[in-house]
Amino acid sequence: MKELLSKAYAKTGESFISTILTAAADPNVISFAGGLPNPASFPMEALKESCNNIIDKYGSAVFQYAKTEGLQAFRQYLAEDYNKTYGVNLDADNIVVTTGSQQALDCFGKVFINEGDGILVEKPSYLGAFQAFDQYCPEYYPVTLNDDGLDIEELEETLEKYGDKIKLAYLIPEFQNPTGLTYTEENRAKVTEILKKYNVVLIEDDPYGQLRFEGTKPPYIGLGKLPQAALLGTFSKVATPGMRVGYVVTENKELAKYIAMALEATSLHTNIFSQYLLLDYLQNNDQPAHVKDIQDLYRQQCHCMLDAMDKYFPENVTYTRPEGGMFIWATLPEGVSAIKLFPKAAEKGVVYVPGDPFYVGVHDANTLRLNFTNASPEAIDKGIHLLGDMLKEECAGK
């Protein structure tokens, strides 16, 4: 059957996401691999009540086909929330509801990318974004991600050299996946000023921004500043991932229209039952208090993992110390391949995500991603202890 595959699909290869989810589901393995929210964060009782409410209130409408852009009242609620929080001027037509932010990435690729067109990405970047974009056969232009954000000199050089080829810039400035890093306010301002000079659409992915448990939130790069900017949001991290409700926020209504047209061709519309359900839940519950509970939970889990890494990891392994989000990024000594160590770690009963799939054209990377949100403190300590013992053996003398 392989000879029948399209050229684009044949190039995408096997998804590492499926490998991650399979590993995460094994009860005999301590998994730091999947980006899974803690089930304790799911507001199940409140959602159960909202489920009954919407059926009683709206009847068959919650089960019927719906408008592609999404439920009008839900989109208006989101617009008003962004207006209040960020001082912008949005209405429902500035919002498109998608099946998670993953579908939004696919729509951007569908709308903008011809084979060979350029996408500027962070180095490293979210592997799911590569999976979404790869089917449109783009050229990637990676820019190094430093502790404070994008390497500004490299960003300028890349756009000066390839700006006429680059159509999209895909960035995750807050608790970046995979590194957990956050761009500083100064770095964001510089990125904004540079992007203003080029005819590039900014995709600012913000799935983790509400998960800040330390420090203060910096301003967005694009929202309110760039005419061709879109912000991706999701309820996967602050309500439930299984509903697959994400959304695109853009002040550019022409851009919103294009994304909606791509969405219509892909799935007609996003799950309307979930939109009614989330709207009722948001209107009748203290969502900020719920988010604070998640922040408190993740603060505890993150500190537990960092304390264990401080205790068990060898000194020649370094790692980020995020102020929120879901991930810690570890860097092994040069020449030590995290992907080659993966089977050894799995044998010991602990798994992570090797760095390779987060890069363009990099093999045997000396980096790995650890998720701290979906394991108990006891499992975190045990798993990091097992991983640390292995790393002490493999990294000795490096």
Given the structure tokens 């899974």, which residue do they identify? 36
Given the structure tokens 């590569």, which residue do they identify? 130
Q: What is the pLDDT of residue 15?
A: 65
Q: Provide the CATH topology of domain 45-284.
A: Aspartate Aminotransferase; domain 2 (3.40.640)
Give backbone dihedrals phi and psi of 131, rounded to 5 degrees, phi first: -60, -40
Given the structure tokens 């590039």, which residue do they identify? 200
Query: Residue 325 region, left (φ>0) first, then alpha (ψ -120 to 50), else beta?
Result: left
Beta bridge partners of 14: none
Q: What is the CA radius of gyration of the chain?
A: 21
Domain 2-42+289-395 shares a fold with domain 45-284: no
Domain ranges, ordered by start, for the chain: 2-42+289-395, 45-284
In the chain (398 residues long), the average pLDDT of successive 10-residue segments reads 75 65 75 92 97 97 96 98 96 97 97 97 97 96 98 98 97 98 98 98 98 96 97 97 96 98 94 97 97 98 98 97 98 96 92 95 96 96 97 88
Q: Does domain 2-42+289-395 have CATH number 3.30.499.10?
A: no
Q: What is the pLDDT of residue 82?
A: 97
Burial state string for 25-34 with b = 16 or more CB within 10 A and e = fewer than 16: eeeebbbbbb
User: What is the residue type of 117?
Assistant: D
In 3-state terms, what secondary structure has residue 43? coil
In 3-state terms, what secondary structure has residue 225? coil
Q: How far apart are CA 60 and CA 276, in angstroms?
A: 12
C-alpha dihedral sign at 304, 307, 313, 318 = positive
Q: What is the pLDDT of residue 105?
A: 98
Q: Residue 75: which H helix or E strand, with range? A: helix 72-86
Burial state string for 58-86 with b = 16 or more CB within 10 A and e = fewer than 16: beeebeeebebbbbeebbbbbbeebeeee
- 83 Cβ contact list (under 8 Å, min separation 6): 89, 90
Query: Residue 316 region, left (φ>0) first, then alpha (ψ -120 to 50), else beta?
Result: alpha
Q: What is the pLDDT of residue 4?
A: 77
